[in-house]
Amino acid sequence: MKRFLIAAALVAVAVGLVVGLRRWIHHAQLELVPVLVMPGADAHAVVDPPPSAIATRMMLDARELVTRPSRPRLAVLTFDDGPYPVETPALADELARLHVPADFFLIGRDALQQPAIAHRLASSGNETGNHSMTHPEMSTLAYDAQRAEIDAGAVAVNATTGQRVAYFRPPHGNYDENTIKAALDLGETVALWNDDPGDWRTLSPDAIAKLAADQARAPVVILLHDGKDATIDALPAIVAEFRSAGYRFVTLSELQKDVPVDEINDPIRVSL
């Protein structure tokens, strides 16, 4: 009986170690999902990190448990989709009232339909980025089709806003190696996020604000969506909560000026 208990205990320890290791590996893989992918990056390694990168990330996780890194409390509000004739001006008005800049990832087709609104966003202290021309599922397209979508979107956004397009965000956040490669080949930085309150769902303003706060990082890039009244109503609470925790709101390009990309891609969790 004693031998059986010892054997059972050893099996339990072994199982625990295996489960713990697998969770650690999974966590490392999630942490390797970048916020910014810069031109010159290896698109394949971004989509399918090699074992060496996962091992390095695991060691970094262990080191950060002992010595917590320091990161500036900077926040970027990003809005996907649009511009729309009603919601986008209301969103721009609320941001101006709150004295907060933002990054708008515009759909090229919609920017061409609403050029005055697109131009207003850019002339009001906001930054405009590329969200493709027609908002397709990028990963279902071949490289040439993806490149054409990204290129046409950038041309449309540039034409309507007068701003040079520096950032591309894939629709729905869905991408494959060809998406990353096409954007980088066109000289655009792929911009993702590290805080997703899920405002694309039917949520109340309070729920959106709470989910944004619960996922806080430093620095933080928050994914939100244009065309959502609840998102506009949630903004005062989001801004107030982050500001009370010592955050300053900036654009993506301002974030890049203040923080190395490696640190943007390795934010720390923050409790607000």
Q: Which residues are catalytic?
A: 80, 225
CA distance 238 to 256: 22
Place of tokens 């993702």: 192
Identity of residue 126: N
CA distance 97 to 201: 25
CA distance 87 to 96: 14
CA distance 118 to 256: 23
Q: What are phi and psi of 78, to 5 degrees?
A: -125, 140
Specify whether the CB–CB gap between 47 and 73 falls below 8 A: no
CA distance 221 to 232: 17
Instruction: Supply 140's token pair.
Output: 């279902």
Report the alpha-carbon angle 219-65-41, nearest 5.
50
